[in-house]
Amino acid sequence: MAATTAAGSQALTAGVEGKVSSRSAPLGAASVYAYQLADLTLEKVVTDTEGEFSFASLPVGLYKIIAFKPGFVPTVVMLSRMAADARQYLDLELSPHVKGVTAEGGFWELREKIPSDVLRDIEVAIAANEFGGTAYPSLDETTFSAQMQASTGVHESLDYGSANMAGGQLDIEGRFRDYLVGLTGNFSQLEPNATFGQDGAIGRTQQVALDLINPDHSRVSVSSLSNSMTGTDQGLDPVEFQHHMVSWSRPVGHQAHSAFSAQYTEENNFYNEGPIQALGLPESSRTLRVEGSYTTPVSERATIQAGFRYRDLQSEYIAAPLGSFGLLPQETVELFSRGGLQVKPAVVVEYGLYSTLRDGTLSLVPQGGVVVNLSENWRAATSASHRIDQEEDYSFNDFTPAFFNEGDACETGAEYCYKVMFSRLWGEDEQMSLGAVHRKYADTMRMYFDRDFYDRLESLFFVPGDSLPELQFEVTRRLAPEVLTRFESNVATGGGGVLVGGDQTSYENSVSYMVTSLDTRFEGTATGVFVAFHHLEQALDPLAGQPVLPLVQRAPSFSFGGYEGHPVAVTLGSAPAAQAAANAGKQLELQRLQLMLSQDLRILHRLAADWAVHLNMEVSRGAVPDNALYDADDLRKRLTGGIAVKF
């Protein structure tokens, strides 16, 4: 498939015109879609007998133009509109779909490139032709495809020493009658290394996920994750983490969309690590989360979303010398609304409001932002949010786990957040963005920089009052016609918040991180090279002469000291200065360098199935206080390799 664009190449009226063809022959009755990325609006036209089409008027913005006709592979091109009265012309070339040969990357990769609204329309057209007996093939004639992967190696962790590692993964994707089905299962396990005898690290992790897309285009996803680790020779407590989720989404009408999800998490000793334990950090917890949302356009230029989130958290806290507080319930209800409005051809205004009800207190988080098209390829975006809290009479802060660069960091535990971003688009797969984020935290948070269960200590603590400015840079370019590379870097340093520890002392927090990666794909040889570097630091300094904050927990079902159904105040005294000084200082200083290589074997030999080999090498150093396994200068290694087959 191919597509070329030209501006003013023919005598056009204002708008976008063009022609759809295949092998120089015009294609009549082909559908052409214009999907605006800013406000998600969609327009559709059909080519005439000469394959020509016309959009009379398209506002300023960035568009995906999709052309499709049953029997041909869809094509997707990017189009930037600098002015509503601009004249632009498109030549769109479609490749015939050969029976038994799928589109490059397969059906599931095409789904990611084509917007869901357009994809639904395409699938309806395909189904209508197939039902009517027309000999047009579908987007993918294959009933299913599968990929199996096995790996083995050696892993050295920060807290459990050295162990042998083995794992496997199975992915199945396909079509069952009118249903699209995706099934993923993976597992890994650690076994004691000879260095530690039979009492070394023992760890297991397993996950199963099912994704089902119904004929009415609704989607159901179910996943289950279970992790555990022990290390008896180090005298450490077992670590467990389980997460189960079910989600459902469905289109409503032409552009509206509804979604619902329920999640259950149970953990033990997963969040709480290090010699200084935050007072509000649970030793173990059980969490139920329920979320729902509805998105709909309210006009040609405006879209709005409304939803809710409910969380029921039951946690067990340890605060020496009082011992365990038992399972304390904490319920949170959030209501939110957000939307976008195109006020001018090149300006989109975004807005939102979050309200949170937690233990009888109310928080409001108004949000606002502006997206401006500066030129044909440049775009600027800025946003701000600020949390307004009802006055609280207790200092028992909420706790939230989060993963780095997942979702909107400004929506999770922030008192305020300001963002500025500049981006440039060269083509469908080439772009650049540069931005800055400044946020201040209102809740206690542990941020994880690696989803690997065995590397959970690669995380940082943020506490109320921490201020964190961050710089972000990302660029994707083609260094050569068959060499595509992506570079990302995030750098942040800050702190200043006060952590109240279980040792009854207040500490000032200081954090910094740098996360950089370079991902390169040599398409000519089907070779992938990925390099990443992480540098994390966290330090705590005791606040001299500062009184310890009291803990006042409102919990109607919590009974302590003979009081039932009333607020209970527990004030902790000052810890000895020697103990505070011994626990203070750097809590974490970690550097990790990763190199991952992958090679498709098809380039070397013609095989009945797609075979590939992969190799992952990691070197890290650093330690946490009181860790007897490694000195800060010791190098830890992780080396795994494996083979994958796709058929």
Query: Rounded CA gap, 269 and 502, in Å?
Result: 15
Q: CA of 57: how far to CAs of 15, 29, 69, 120, 467, in Å?
A: 5, 21, 23, 24, 46
Structure confidence at residue 627 (pLDDT): 58
Q: Model pTM greater than 0.85? A: no
Structure confidence at residue 630 (pLDDT): 60
Q: Are 597 and 615 in contact (CB under 8 A)?
A: yes
Q: Are 354 and 388 in contact (CB under 8 A)?
A: no
Query: Rounded CA gap, 88 and 98, in Å?
Result: 32
Domain boundaries, the chain: 2-131, 271-556+576-646
Q: Are 150 and 168 in contact (CB under 8 A)?
A: yes
Low-confidence stretches of the chain (pLDDT < 70) are: 1-14, 39, 97-112, 124, 126-143, 159-160, 194-201, 231-236, 254, 273-280, 317-329, 359, 390-397, 407, 427-428, 502-504, 544-584, 603-609, 624-632
Provide the 10 A C-beta neighbour count for residue 217.
Answer: 17
Pair type for strands 302-318 and 52-55: unpaired
Structure confidence at residue 631 (pLDDT): 66
Tokens of 399: 């706790």
Structure confidence at residue 230 (pLDDT): 81
The CATH label, of 2.60.40.1120, 3.90.950.10, 2.40.160.10, 3.90.380.10, for the domain at 2-131 is 2.60.40.1120
Cβ burial 72-97 (10 Å sphere, 16+ → b, else e): bbbbbbbbbbbeeebbbbbbbbbeeb
Structure confidence at residue 12 (pLDDT): 46
**DSSP secondary structure of 16-75:** EEEEEEETTEE-TT-EEEEEETTT--EEEEE--TTSEEEES---SEEEEEEEE-TTEE-E
Query: Rounded CA gap, 231 and 209, in Å?
Result: 29
Structure confidence at residue 600 (pLDDT): 84
Structure confidence at residue 443 (pLDDT): 83
Structure confidence at residue 437 (pLDDT): 95
Q: Are 153 and 614 in contact (CB under 8 A)?
A: no
